[in-house]
A and B are shown apart, each in its own frame.
Chain A
Amino acid sequence: MIRYVAVRAAQALGVLWIVATATFGMLRLLPGGPFDREKALPPEIVRNVEARYGLDQPLAQQYASYLGGVLRGDLGPSYKYLGRDVSDVIAESLPVSLQLGAAALALALAGGVSVGLVSGMRRGRALDRGLVMLSLLGVSVPSFVLGAALILGVALYLDWLPGGLWESPAHVLLPALTLAALPLATIAQLTRASVIEVAQRDFVRTARAKGVPERVVRRRHVLRNALLASITYFGPLLAMLLTGSFVVEKIFAVPGMGRFFVTAVTNRDYPLVLGVTLVYAALVVVANLIVDLLYAWLDPRIRVRGESE
């Protein structure tokens, strides 16, 4: 198990190095630099600004000093937000994205599993058909449409909840719901399918034949086995909730990290783009690592295979 973890961790570091290098290279290939302005600057001022950020050095040297910085945990200064380090910018905005992601994750898991269970148990009835329709809607409506619809309906017309900002628990509900809609619907579909499948298995029939009460059959036999399918989905889901929040953060004016994905690129704020990309890459890598380990823990067959290799 330890060797398995060590190999996976080394692979993860390699992935991060490739991400950092590729992002560095692609950014420099983009036309237009961080200090290109509508009002052109006199040449001596351009020289001063470039010298301040080391942009007057050869590219190889810039790359080396950037990588060196990253290894020391220093992501460099932001070019756009003067006097702030990229680490500061991320330290302030990442927790907000994580809070939003966690709230959405909770909603998606709680809602998705419940809907899937109810739907699967009542297969073919009106309630099931309604829930299937709803989850189809959840999968197909993009978050910018759903977000706008919620703002218009719940905030503007009903005036039940604020249409944006990040001040109180009430401000979390609409963005979290918007972000959770797609995974919630997906989990509901997965759970429903596996409930239906598990319910027809021999051990369930045996349990019923032994006279086990229906409540216990559902909880102990059907639910537990049906949940495995959702856990498979947990890894990509975690990554999606953490990285997919850009649109939702923008629509609801949530001060998270997602917005830098776009604004840092349009500003050509090289260190910020690199920092944000690296952090997200690390999150995705870690999420996948956790899921792999979770599998190994849940399903002994994977662990045995992993160790024997």
Chain B
Amino acid sequence: MPRLIRLCLCSALLACGGAPDDDGGRVLRFNLRTEPPTLDWNLAADSASFTLIEQLMRGLTRLDHDLRLQPALARSWEASEGGRLWRFHLRRDVVWSDGEPLHARQFVDGWRRLLDPRTASEYAYFLFAVRGARAFNAGEFDATRLGVSAPDAHTLEVELEEALVYFPALVSFMATYPIRRELIELHGDRWTDPENWVGLGPFRLKEWRHEYRIALDANPLYFAGRPWLDRVVAYMIDDFATELVLFEQGRLDLVELAPLEIPRYAGRPEYRRQPLLVGYYYGFNTRRAPFDDVRVRRAFAQAIDRERFPQLLRGGEKPSASWLPPGLLASNPGIGLAFDPARARALLAEAGVDPERLEPVVVGYNTNDPRHKLVGEAVQAMWSENLGVEVELQPREWKVYLKQLTVDPPAVFRLGWVADFPDPHNFMELFTSSSANNHTGWADAGYDALVERAAREPDPDERVRLYDEAQRILCERDVPIVPFFVSSLNLAVAPRVRGLKPNALNAYSFEEVRLD
């Protein structure tokens, strides 16, 4: 027996494999938290995948840390027909990580693959503005009629269904990056394995131990110059306490702080905060009483004291009564219903609602983030205190909650919105009558028309005016939603890390990072 035990112990200890990567080089380690579902940019649809693809790949344009649009693979571009036709001129010095030069045709291949119904890409709709794209994606005709072409190796021409002023910002998004069709056809789904992978970014895929870690090495062929770091290692540690212990032990350089860990780090030199284009709101189910009455909705909105949220959550939340977050064109803090309990009670009385007799108001939220419960309890207290109504909190598992929102939303529901691209259209389109993300049941033709006109309007001042008008309808006149606050990214960064600049879309590149 003892020999058997010794044997078991030895084999167990030896079999763990994988030498520690403390090889003394310029190595940055961070916690990605979860396994990225894919590194195929035509298919990626989640933040873990996006974070890695940001290191591995580049597209026509790129948003810098102030969300200014910068040239990337395209050195310039121009529009004609008021923004319906676009021509992108590619850089001539770009080669893939295997040495193959970049060709405009590789964008055409990428867009066709993205939109091909057989690819089943969730982000195919990003290019629905391209002529014929939507019909092609619905399987109605073939790819040759798609409005994208490569007249020569360094020019890409795009024809849109309608003018779209923010199109160059759309093509900064990963789903629109070029592909190497011949390699994808050769390797199939395995093309994203490290031995098959090619890209155009500052780093190349070196190692992928599923559910554990991914290693990226500097790409010496990167068109903007080899990055300073030799290697970036992303771990997939999903336990908050464990990642912080490893951070404290110096085994991780960068950790995104979980909501409840933020107060412990605030004030320490490792703590970094970046406001995000992430809106947090409560929506009303306007199909059913009492929230079918706009006065009731306004009353509930004016009974919210937004200043309480940052005190409660302590994650750099910025209270906002308007919907467009700071940092976006047309963001206007002057819009929205302010906290006014007296006015709220008057509105409720005016609507003929007796708080004593009102059925408990159900507030739904999802349980995968502990902040939602804290916010829910705060709102419960505010509505009870300021309006005298009883509130029943209804926590639900995430997928159950999503189903409930599409089938039969609770009277009041929590949701958020994370910007896909930094244009107000991305936020305002959410509450149009045709949006699948509008769970309020509210529809307004005037609002729809304003949002649609603003998307085509080339003059920024006129766009701001149109969005102001639409925001007043949304946040003051009809109030199908109550914006609460704009969220922040909260990071713990080891003091030796220099040059890390996350932007408001929660994107950060390690291209410019150095270690002391």
Q: Which residues of A pack against B, CB within 8 Å?
A: 30-33, 35-45, 47-49, 51-52, 80-84, 89, 92-93, 95, 99-100, 102-103, 105-107, 109-110, 113, 148, 151-152, 155-156, 159, 162-169, 171-172, 176, 227, 250-253, 255-256, 259, 263, 266, 268
Which of A47, A93, A165, A266 contacts B246, CB < 8 Å? A165
Q: Say whether B12 contacts A45, CB under 8 Å.
A: no
Q: Say whether B399 contacts A106, CB under 8 Å.
A: no
A252 to B21, CA, bound (A): 18
Tell me if B80 is interfacial: C-beta within 8 Å of chain A: no
Which of B21, B118, B236 contacts A255, CB < 8 Å? B236
Minimum distance in angstroms from A48 CB to a CB of chain B: 4
Q: Say whether B403 contacts A42, CB under 8 Å.
A: no
Q: Say whether A105 contacts B40, CB under 8 Å.
A: no
Tell me if B311 is interfacial: C-beta within 8 Å of chain A: no
Minimum distance in angstroms from B360 CB to a CB of chain A: 23
Residue of A nearest to B192 (CB): A83
Residues of A within 8 Å of B239, CB to CB, are: 164, 250-251, 253
Tell me if B144 is interfacial: C-beta within 8 Å of chain A: no
Q: Say whether B241 contacts A259, CB under 8 Å.
A: no
A37 to B121, CA, bound (A): 13
Bitwise interface map of B from 231 to 274 toward A, beta carbon under 8 Å scored 1, else 0? 00001111101110110110100000000000000000000000
Q: Which of B209-217, B280-288, B469-477, B481-489 lies at the interface?
A: B209-217
Residues of A within 8 Å of B35, CB to CB, are: 81
Q: Say whether A168 contacts B40, CB under 8 Å.
A: no
Q: Which of B122-130, B291-299, B452-460, B492-500 lies at the interface?
A: B122-130
Tell me if B117 is interfacial: C-beta within 8 Å of chain A: yes
Q: Say whether A31 contacts B210, CB under 8 Å.
A: no
Q: Say whether A259 contacts B238, CB under 8 Å.
A: yes
Which 7 pairs from chain A and chain B are nearest by CB? A32-B399, A83-B189, A40-B436, A255-B212, A103-B12, A163-B245, A169-B13
Tell me if B186 is interfacial: C-beta within 8 Å of chain A: no
Determine the interface band of chain B, counting residues with CB < 8 A from chain A: 35 or more
Residues of B within 8 Å of A89, CB to CB, are: 210
Minimum distance in angstroms from B380 CB to a CB of chain A: 23
Bitwise interface map of B from 178 to 194 toward A, beta carbon under 8 Å scored 1, else 0? 00000000001110100
Tell me if B404 is interfacial: C-beta within 8 Å of chain A: yes
Within 8 A of A (CB), among B14-70: 14-16, 18-21, 34-35, 37-38, 40, 43, 45
14 contacts between A and B (CB under 8 A): A37-B122, A45-B122, A48-B118, A82-B189, A83-B189, A84-B189, A102-B8, A103-B13, A107-B9, A151-B241, A156-B245, A172-B12, A250-B238, A253-B236
Tell me if B137 is interfacial: C-beta within 8 Å of chain A: yes
Given A48-B124, A172-B13, A255-B210, 10 further pairs, Cβ under 8 A: A31-B404, A45-B120, A45-B122, A45-B137, A52-B120, A103-B9, A106-B9, A164-B239, A176-B12, A266-B368
A291 to B20, CA, bound (A): 38
Q: Say whether B18 contacts A106, CB under 8 Å.
A: no
Residues of B within 8 Å of A156, CB to CB, are: 245, 248-249
Which of A42, A51, A176, A252 contacts B125, CB < 8 Å? A42
With contact pairs A102-B12, A155-B249, A167-B18 given, residues A32 and B122 touching in the complex (Cβ less than 8 Å): no
Residues of B within 8 Å of A159, CB to CB, are: 249
With contact pairs A39-B437, A82-B43 given, residues A266 and B249 touching in the complex (Cβ less than 8 Å): no
Residues of B within 8 Å of A256, CB to CB, are: 211
Residue of B nearest to A93 (CB): B211
A256 to B118, CA, bound (A): 32
A164 to B9, CA, bound (A): 19
Tell me if B289 is interfacial: C-beta within 8 Å of chain A: no
Q: Say whether B399 contacts A92, CB under 8 Å.
A: no
Q: Say whether B399 contacts A42, CB under 8 Å.
A: no
Residues of B within 8 Å of A39, CB to CB, are: 420, 437
Within 8 A of A (CB), among B355-372: 368
Q: Say whether B20 contacts A167, CB under 8 Å.
A: yes
Residues of A within 8 Å of B128, CB to CB, are: 42
Minimum distance in angstroms from A77 CB to a CB of chain B: 9
Residues of A within 8 Å of B15, CB to CB, are: 95, 99
Minimum distance in angstroms from B213 CB to a CB of chain A: 8
Tell me if B400 is interfacial: C-beta within 8 Å of chain A: yes
The total of Cβ contacts below 8 Å across the A-B interface reads 194
Q: Say whether B37 contacts A251, CB under 8 Å.
A: no
Minimum distance in angstroms from A151 CB to a CB of chain B: 5
Which of A44, A106, A152 contacts B12, CB < 8 Å? A106
Minimum distance in angstroms from B241 CB to a CB of chain A: 6
Minimum distance in angstroms from A156 CB to a CB of chain B: 5
Q: Say whether B399 contacts A31, CB under 8 Å.
A: yes
With contact pairs A151-B241, A255-B211 given, residues A45 and B121 touching in the complex (Cβ less than 8 Å): yes
A242 to B188, CA, bound (A): 34
Q: Say whether B137 contacts A44, CB under 8 Å.
A: yes
Tell me if B398 is interfacial: C-beta within 8 Å of chain A: yes
Q: Say whether A253 contacts B235, CB under 8 Å.
A: yes
Q: Say whether B14 contacts A103, CB under 8 Å.
A: no
A84 to B406, CA, bound (A): 30
A252 to B239, CA, bound (A): 8
A31 to B401, CA, bound (A): 9
With contact pairs A31-B404, A102-B8 given, residues A41 and B125 touching in the complex (Cβ less than 8 Å): yes
Q: Say whether A38 contacts B399, CB under 8 Å.
A: no
Tell me if B134 is interfacial: C-beta within 8 Å of chain A: yes
A83 to B403, CA, bound (A): 26
Residue of B nearest to A250 (CB): B239
Which of B11, B124, B236 contacts A45, CB < 8 Å? B124
Tell me if B445 is interfacial: C-beta within 8 Å of chain A: no
Residue of B nearest to A80 (CB): B37
Which of B12, B137, B368 contacts A99, CB < 8 Å? B12
Tell me if B100 is interfacial: C-beta within 8 Å of chain A: no
Within 8 A of A (CB), among B125-177: 125, 128, 134, 137-139
Minimum distance in angstroms from A298 CB to a CB of chain B: 14
Residues of A within 8 Å of B243, CB to CB, are: 164, 253
A45 to B211, CA, bound (A): 28
With contact pairs A38-B402, A93-B211, A251-B239 given, residues A162 and B249 touching in the complex (Cβ less than 8 Å): yes
A266 to B399, CA, bound (A): 7
Residue of A nearest to B430 (CB): A39
Minimum distance in angstroms from B333 CB to a CB of chain A: 26
Tell me if B415 is interfacial: C-beta within 8 Å of chain A: yes
Q: Say whether B400 contacts A32, CB under 8 Å.
A: yes
Q: Say whether A83 contacts B40, CB under 8 Å.
A: yes
